[in-house]
């Protein structure tokens, strides 16, 4: 998925258990359009993110879209971006707009490592 590849510059972190540098987290902003409200898309996304160790949040938008922010290892975020194209049963994803996320959205995330469902905006 071409739009889900860029990451902002981050310092490399060292994993004390592995003794080697861990890749910097990938931050991605998604706007998902189609029949994505009323089909448990946000709850499905939360479960899929938690299974991959991805942090972030998802919320419904008043225009019918679902907006999400993902933060995690590049491979985990890429995997999650790819399955967002199909979504949960009964969802129909027409379009996903992907972009690099601004670090200011981190404030909406809550505790590190969590994935939250936020109120509609």
Q: 42 catalytic, yes or no?
A: yes
Domain map (residue ranges) of the chain: 23-105
Alpha carbon dihedral 81, 59, 25, 94, in 10-degree steps, equals 20
The predicted structure's pLDDT at residue 10: 38
How does DSSP classify residue 104? G
Q: What does DSSP say about strands 115-117 and 55-60: parallel, antiparallel, or unpaired?
A: parallel
What is d(CA 14, CA 65) in angstroms, rounded to the nearest whole number? 37
In CATH, the number for domain 23-105 is: 3.30.70.100
Q: 85 catalytic, yes or no?
A: no
Residue of 12, 60, 61, 63 with catalytic role: 60
Q: What is the mean pLDDT of each run of 10 residues along the chain (121 residues)?
A: 41 55 86 98 97 95 97 95 97 96 70 85 92
What is d(CA 69, CA 33) in angstroms, rounded to the nearest whole number? 15
């Amino acid at each position: 998925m071409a739009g889900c590849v860029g990451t902002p510059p981050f310092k490399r972190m060292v994993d004390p258990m592995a003794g080697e540098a861990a890749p910097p987290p990938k931050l991605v902003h998604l706007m998902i359009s189609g029949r994505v409200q009323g089909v448990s898309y946000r709850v499905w996304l939360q479960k899929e993110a938690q299974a991959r160790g991805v942090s972030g949040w998802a919320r419904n938008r008043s225009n019918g879209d679902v907006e999400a922010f993902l933060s995690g290892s590049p491979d985990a975020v890429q995997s999650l971006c790819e399955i967002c194209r199909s979504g949960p049963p009964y969802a129909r994803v027409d379009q996903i707009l992907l972009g690099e996320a601004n670090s200011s959205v981190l404030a909406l995330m809550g505790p590190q490592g969590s994935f939250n469902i936020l109120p509609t905006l």
